[in-house]
Each structure stands twice: as structure tokens, then as C-alpha cells.
Amino acid sequence: MINLLWLQSGSCGGCTMSLLNAESPDLIKTFNAAGINLLWHPSLSEETGSEAVEILDAVDCGITPLDILCIEGAAVCGPNGSGAFHMLSGTDRSMMEWIERLSQRARYVVAVGSCAAFGGITSAGSNPTEARGLQFDGEQRGGLLGDEFTSEQQLPVVNVAGCPPHPNWMTETLMSLAFSELQPQQLDKLGRPRMYSDHLVHHGCPRNEYYEYKASSEKPSDFGCMMEHMGCVGTQAHGDCNTRLWNGEGSCTRGGYACINCTAPEFEEPGHSFVKTPKLAGIPVGLPTDMPKAWFVALSSLSKAATPIRLKENAVSDHIKVPPKIHPVKKKR
């Protein structure tokens, strides 16, 4: 059996809520198939109080082997690096210290969600709690465990980033670790599993036809592309959200919400409104990944000149006003 311990630090619990939505298979079937034994989870386990502390102590002392340590939420290191803002109830240790100690026992360490990976929402603003990720502090390497940290199996912290992550990003990562199949080259430079981070949210977006012709939304209910005016950064955001749908059928852009790049460090403070695209001389500041500025400007001008009436009208409507033409089928002679 593979022993998994899940702890929550500076977290809203949303990653756990997402995990419970795992489908085909569901969470319990996934754990059973991978031979994963859940030692303890603060919301899902029956043990509380002294019973939970006994489980942690047994792992800390080396009595109970620990294969996978999952941390949900940012490490709370304040005040002044003491970690005293977040003490684990029933112990005289901060959660920060527990994370440090248990990470030395684990074969693998997983940061679940962008808070655990990079600091995320918990570290936003003036960050009075001194929240940070396990191996990153925003975009900077380091974090609580340090730049050079590797677990017993010589892997850095595996950052299943997202706010929250897709449930299958979590279950597939845990299964890969349970079967010892996740290798360092399968993580990108931010420690994210490449099985989802090598994709862009733009891939599979149902608004792609509008994007091609730069037929843009002007308000939240519009059908058009949300990149030009509505703050969408799906062309830059790493994630397979529109090809691996949420709850079998949804994603942010499919629901009419702009992608805010929640799998990236420091997404929580873009420096502008999430729903407004910053521009310089009328050109969006955040251009699509790998797209040179000159090419973008040239292609945008050509695309807008060629925009079909159907897309122009539908882009600023909350329903299909102009349906596509029906072309007669050409019969073979």
C-alpha cells in the first residue's frame, strides 16, 4: 500500500472540494486502483484531535512510512518567520514546522493548488502572514523548503497548480507517483506536471472562431472572444481546461468567464482588473504565447478586415443572432 498524508495550511479548502468531483473513476476508486491508503485528511478522515496527532507523530518518528505528502494551501511563516500564526491544534508546533519535518520523511511531496505551489491568493496584498509556496515564493524559487529540496525519490516538489486544480490533474499525478512513473523531465520549469501544463487554455476554447477574426466581446454576456477587452489570458495560460472539461462539460471560458491564468505564479495580482485587458496604444499588453508583437498587429488587422458579418454581430450578442449559412451538398456527377 502507498501511504498518503494530506495536510491543509493557508487554504480555503477549494482544492479538496475540486478533488471530490473526480469522475471516471471517482476518488475512492482511484485510490483503490492505485493502492493508495489515505493516512489522514483533515476533512475526509474520521480521526480527530489526539487521534490525528498520533498519526502525525507516528509518521514523524518513522514508525509509519510516508510515501506521498500532499500540502493544500500556502505555508504560513509569520510572524517574523516563526510560523506561529498557524499552530497545529493539539501540538506545540506550527504547521510550517510540521511541513518541514514531514517533507523529510516523504518519498514524494506534492503542492496541491497554486497557494501551496507559489503562495497564491493567501500571499496576496501586503502578505502579513508571510505566506509562501513550498518551493516557490511567487515566481522566485526557494519557498519554505528551499530551492535545492528534493524528496526521498529525488523529485522536487510536484506543483499541481490551479485555483483550484482540475480533479483529474490531482488524481493522475497521485497515480503516477503511486506507480513510480513520474520523472523529473515530466515536470516543467515551475514544477507542474507537463501532462496538463504543456497545453494552453486556448486549446479547445469554443470562442476560437471569434479569436481568429478578432471578433470581441464588449460585456460579460457576449459570445465573442474575451481577449481584446475582457481580460482573458487563455492564450497564455498553461492548462488543458478546454480539452479536459470540468464536471464533464464546463470551463471558465465556456461559462463566459475570462481565464485569469490561475495555474501561474502571482496570477492573484495582475496589476489590473481581472476582467479588463490592459493595452498600450490600443494593443493588448499580454500577447498570445510565442506570438511576436509585429505579427500579432499585422494578423489582427487582416483578421478584422475579413471578419464575417455573422461573427461581428454574434460577438456582441448573448445569443446567436446570425446562424451560419447552409451550403448545398455538391453531388458527384
Q: Is residue 128 part of a domain?
A: yes
Q: Are residues 116 and 170 in the same domain?
A: yes
Q: Where is the domain boundary, 148, 181, 197? A: 197
Q: Is residue 326 part of a domain?
A: no
For residue 196, give the nearest of 263, 138, 108, 261 by alpha carbon. 263
By three-state DSSP, how is residue 243 classified? coil
Q: Are residues 43 and 124 in the same domain?
A: yes
Q: Is residue 67 part of a domain?
A: yes
Q: Are residues 158 and 245 in the same domain?
A: no
Q: Does the structure show a pLDDT above 90 at 285?
A: no
Q: Are 122 and 77 in contact (CB under 8 A)?
A: no
Q: Where is the domain boundary, 197, 226, 246? A: 197
Q: Give me the CATH number covering residue 168.
A: 3.40.50.700
pLDDT category of residue 330 using cuts at 50, 70 and 90: confident
Q: Are residues 48 and 186 in the same domain?
A: yes
**Cα of 37 vs its chain's centroid, Å:** 25
121 vs 329: CA distance, rounded Å: 54
Q: Is residue 287 part of a domain?
A: yes
151 vs 331: CA distance, rounded Å: 65
pLDDT category of residue 274 using cuts at 50, 70 and 90: very high
Q: Are residues 95 and 28 in the same domain?
A: yes
Domain that holds residue 151: 2-197
Q: Where are the beta strands (DSSP E) in the chain?
A: 2-8, 36-40, 68-72, 75-76, 108-112, 131-132, 136-137, 140-141, 158-160, 279-280, 283-284
Q: Are residues 121 and 255 in the same domain?
A: no
Q: Are residues 117 and 161 in the same domain?
A: yes
Q: Give me the CATH number covering residue 301.
A: 4.10.480.10
165 vs 123: CA distance, rounded Å: 18
Checking DSSP bridges between strand 283-284 and strand 68-72, what pairing results, if any? unpaired
Q: Where is the domain boundary, 167, 197, 227? A: 197
Residue 169, amino acid:
W
Q: Does the structure show a pLDDT above 90 at 132?
A: yes
Q: Does the structure show a pLDDT above 90 at 12?
A: yes
Q: Is residue 329 part of a domain?
A: no
Q: Are residues 208 and 118 in the same domain?
A: no
pLDDT category of residue 296 using cuts at 50, 70 and 90: confident
Q: Is residue 262 part of a domain?
A: yes
Q: Are residues 21 and 124 in the same domain?
A: yes
167 vs 145: CA distance, rounded Å: 25
Q: Does the structure show a pLDDT above 90 at 301?
A: no
Report pLDDT for 247. 87
101 vs 134: CA distance, rounded Å: 13
Q: Is residue 109 part of a domain?
A: yes
116 vs 177: CA distance, rounded Å: 18
Q: Are residues 13 and 140 in the same domain?
A: yes
Tell me: the pLDDT tens digits for 209-266?
Answer: 999 999 999 999 999 999 999 999 999 999 999 999 998 889 999 999 999 999 999 9
Q: Are residues 157 and 249 in the same domain?
A: no
Q: Which residues lie closer than 8 Å to 201 by C-beta, 6 or more apart?
A: 234, 235, 237, 238, 239, 240, 241, 242, 251, 252, 253, 259, 261
Residue 74 has phi, psi (to 5 degrees) of: -70, 150
User: In Å, what is the CA distance from 137 to each residue of 120, 147, 163?
Assistant: 9, 10, 16
Q: Is residue 328 part of a domain?
A: no
Report pLDDT for 248. 84
Number of domains into which the chain is organized: 2
Q: Are residues 42 and 111 in the same domain?
A: yes
For residue 110, give the nearest of 200, 15, 241 by alpha carbon. 15
